Amino acid sequence: MNAFEMAQAQFDAVAARMKLDKGVADLLRWPLREFKFSIPVRMDDGSLRVFTGFRVQHNDSRGPNKGGIRFAADETIDTVRALAMWMTWKCAVADIPLGGGKGGVIVDPSTLSVSEKERLCRGWMQQMWKHLGPRQDVPAPDVGTTPQMMAWMMDEYSKLVGVYTPGMITGKPLGAGGSLGRTEATGFGVTYCIREAMKHLKMDPKACTASIQGFGNVSQYATIGFTELLGGKVVAVSCWDLKDKKAYTYSKKDGIDGRFLLTIVDQYGTIDKEAAKKAGYEIEAADAWLYKDVDVLIPAAKEGQITGDNVGKISKQVKIIAEGANGPVTIDADKEIQKRGILDIPDFLCNAGGVTTSYFESVQNDMNFYWSTEEVLKRLDDKISVAFHAVLDMSLKEKVYMRDAAYLVSIERVVKAMQHRGWI
Ligand code: NAD
């Protein structure tokens, strides 16, 4: 099953449960608009290379489409469609007034020079600009794209429309329209969800422990959030070691110091093994993080990590799984987690802090007035907490698993917007 078939199957199951009208379901299981285009780029050696670009706008009933642009060698239209559909549900569950979009280019960006990357970014924008804008569709960085690339794209768009328009794309660098608080946003959003889940389960965060997969953007700030905002203890983090080409778990019984680890991690999220050893960290097998006796597991590295094969070895102590990464739990593991009564915070709710702060970025761009980090994070906390409780309430009311509840909340909201606008 490819990603789009999976996204459609998930949607179909919820649509059936909601007894959604067939016509409405037909509208939602496909994107409203799709663009596929060729981008000619003059390479540094003087040759001309043509790249294939995509943009998919799944549904913009609740507001402009929102979603990243991926530069990946294995990019396909179906991956982009699936990710665009998931963005519609993510924006709806976070209750931000945006729809779902995604874009991409078939390219391995590591094979391009800096100037070739810039020409490719500008070329992508030249093909798509008429269909983008703060009131139409607002892209962002994703796999293989960076804040610098967003700044080039924003510049190209502004030249084409003749007006400086920073709010047409998010994830820009600070000083070029970027927002404070974006770096912390996703990991802190994960933390706010955990805090609310603990309130519901009557757990004292100060007496709780967590184990985390990853030590990149999301997991770094989930580690810091869990210790500094909640007062809990993180006993293990893990990461991929680029040199050894394998993953390790870094653990410390008296608690990980996230701020210290930030000083010995590189930009790809690889922790310096020797420096960690010197500081008293124990270095264990890749999957050791998953089997720790902790209250909370935070898979925040990559997809497909908790599977039918390893789910049975998760400690009985675990009460909460907070999905910081996208799709970290496979379908068969999901069934087992549900059976064990663990409160699973589904990815598109748990990691919605990133897109929520992207939304704040374009709001600030539109106002040409910028907020402090504290203000951004306070607004983020409010949004994520309300989103968490909307899903929890649905889960309790309908007696369904949190993932199904999140789908019910988001699909209901999108359907309602389409009804109000007279589309259906
Ligand atoms: P990142 O590249 O900054 O960090 C990834 C981390 O995972 C690194 O520390 C890497 O070493 C580690 N890792 C990779 N493979 C591993 C393995 N097999 N075992 C253990 N560790 C491994 O990425 P990120 O931005 O933190 O994103 C992580 C996940 O969160 C992805 O699924 C991403 O799609 C999702 N996500 C990120 C954001 C965001 O704002 N950054 C928002 C929403 C969702």
300, 329, 350: which is the final residue of a domain?
350
For residue 270 and ligand 1, the question of a CB distance below 6 A is answered with yes
Q: What range does the domain containing 82 cover?
A: 32-165+413-424
Whether residue 38 contacts residue 52, with contact meaning beta carbons closer than 8 Å, is answered with: yes
What number does the ligand 1 atom closest to the CA of 269 have? 9
For residue 96 and ligand 1, the question of a CB distance below 6 A is answered with no
Residue 259 sits in a domain whose CATH number is 3.40.50.720
Burial group, residue 26, by CB count within 10 angstroms (0-12, 13-18, 19+) = exposed
For residue 77 and ligand 1, the question of a CB distance below 6 A is answered with no
Mean pLDDT, the chain, integer:
97
Measured in Å, residue 371 CA sits from the centre of ligand 1 at 27
pLDDT tens figures, 358-409: 999 999 999 999 999 999 999 999 999 999 999 999 999 999 999 999 999 9
Pocket test for ligand 1, best of 242, 298, 351, 359 (most atoms within 8 A of CB): 351
- Domain presence at residue 81: yes
Q: Identify whether residues 144 and 108 lie together within a single domain.
A: yes
298, 320, 350: which is the final residue of a domain?
350
For residue 215 and ligand 1, the question of a CB distance below 6 A is answered with yes
Q: Residue 32 pLDDT > 90, yes or no?
A: yes
Give the list of residues 6+ apart from residue 14 with CB closer than 8 angstroms, or none: 404, 407, 408, 411
In angstroms, the CA 173 to CA 244 distance is: 32
For residue 217 and ligand 1, the question of a CB distance below 6 A is answered with yes
Tell me, yes or no, if 102 is annotated catalytic: yes
Task: List the one residue out of 98, 103, 84 whose CA is nearest residue 414.
Answer: 98
Could you give the dihedral angle defined by the CA atoms of residues 285, 290, 295 and 297, in that order, rounded to the nearest 10 degrees? 120
Mean pLDDT of 144-153: 96
Residue with tokens 């990133």: 354
3-state secondary structure string across 350-401: HCCHHHHHHHHHHHHHHHCCCCCHHHHHHHHHHHHHHHHHHHHHHHHHHCCC
pLDDT of the residue at 226: 98
Whether residue 306 contacts residue 290, with contact meaning beta carbons closer than 8 Å, is answered with: yes
For residue 300 and ligand 1, the question of a CB distance below 6 A is answered with yes
In angstroms, the CA 111 to CA 117 distance is: 9
Backbone angles phi, psi at 338, to 5 degrees: -60, -45
pLDDT tens figures, 44-75: 999 999 999 999 999 999 999 999 999 999 99
- Residue 88, token pair as written in the block: 């519609």
Residue with tokens 């990461």: 239
For residue 213 and ligand 1, the question of a CB distance below 6 A is answered with yes
Q: Identify whether residues 137 and 198 lie together within a single domain.
A: no
What number does the ligand 1 atom closest to the CA of 327 have? 32
- Domain presence at residue 244: yes
Name which residue leads in pLDDT, 143 or 397. Answer: 397
Measured in Å, residue 121 CA sits from the centre of ligand 1 at 24
- Domain presence at residue 336: yes
For residue 247 and ligand 1, the question of a CB distance below 6 A is answered with yes
For residue 352 and ligand 1, the question of a CB distance below 6 A is answered with no
Starting at the edge strand found earlier in the chain, the sheet holding 233-241 runs: 282-284, 246-251, 233-241, 209-213, 296-299, 320-322, 343-345
- Domain presence at residue 417: yes
- Domain presence at residue 22: no
As for how many domains the chain has, the answer is 2
Q: Identify whether residues 304 and 155 lie together within a single domain.
A: no
- Domain presence at residue 19: no
For residue 326 and ligand 1, the question of a CB distance below 6 A is answered with yes
- Residue 335, token pair as written in the block: 């069934």
Mean pLDDT of 96-116: 97
In angstroms, the CA 67 to CA 81 distance is: 11
pLDDT of the residue at 22: 97
Q: Residue 1 pLDDT > 80, yes or no?
A: no
Task: List the one residue out of 64, 105, 63, 68 whose CA is nearest residue 83.
Answer: 68
Q: Identify whether residues 64 and 100 lie together within a single domain.
A: yes
Measured in Å, residue 279 CA sits from the centre of ligand 1 at 24
- Domain presence at residue 339: yes
Return the number of other C-beta atoms located less than 10 Å from residue 147's C-beta: 16
- Give the CA diameter of the chain: 65
Q: Identify whether residues 77 and 221 lie together within a single domain.
A: no
In angstroms, the CA 128 to CA 140 distance is: 14
Measured in Å, residue 43 CA sits from the centre of ligand 1 at 31
Task: List the one residue out of 300, 153, 138 whose CA is nearest residue 225.
Answer: 300
Whether residue 33 contacts residue 65, with contact meaning beta carbons closer than 8 Å, is answered with: no
pLDDT tens figures, 246-281: 999 999 989 999 999 999 999 889 999 999 999 999
CA-proximal residue: ligand 1, atom 5 (nearest): 216
pLDDT tens figures, 167-215: 999 999 999 999 999 999 999 999 999 999 999 999 999 999 999 999 9
Please work out, in degrees rounded to the nearest 5, the angle formed at the alpha carbon of residue 178 by the alpha carbons of 353 and 145.
75
Q: Identify whether residues 249 and 309 lie together within a single domain.
A: yes
Q: Identify whether residues 120 and 264 lie together within a single domain.
A: no
- Domain presence at residue 380: no
What number does the ligand 1 atom closest to the CA of 347 have? 44
For residue 325 and ligand 1, the question of a CB distance below 6 A is answered with yes
Q: Identify whether residues 193 and 143 lie together within a single domain.
A: no
In angstroms, the CA 423 to CA 415 distance is: 9
Q: Which of 22, 66, 90, 102 is labelled catalytic?
A: 102
CA-proximal residue: ligand 1, atom 33 (nearest): 325
pTM score, two decimals? 0.95
What number does the ligand 1 atom closest to the CA of 239 have? 21
Q: Identify whether residues 219 and 158 lie together within a single domain.
A: no
Residue 70 sits in a domain whose CATH number is 3.40.50.10860
Classified as helix, coil or strand, 406 is helix
307, 330, 350: which is the final residue of a domain?
350
What number does the ligand 1 atom closest to the CA of 143 have? 34
Q: Identify whether residues 334 and 250 lie together within a single domain.
A: yes
Q: Residue 2 pLDDT > 90, yes or no?
A: no
What number does the ligand 1 atom closest to the CA of 217 have? 26
Percent of the chain scoring above 70 in pLDDT: 100
Measured in Å, residue 146 CA sits from the centre of ligand 1 at 15
pLDDT of the residue at 213: 98
Give the list of residues 6+ apart from residue 288 with CB closer than 8 angstroms, or none: 236, 238, 249, 251
Q: Identify whether residues 257 and 323 lie together within a single domain.
A: yes
Q: Identify whether residues 145 and 262 lie together within a single domain.
A: no
pLDDT tens figures, 76-102: 999 999 999 999 999 999 999 999 999
Give the list of residues 6+ apart from residue 412 with CB closer than 8 angstroms, or none: 18
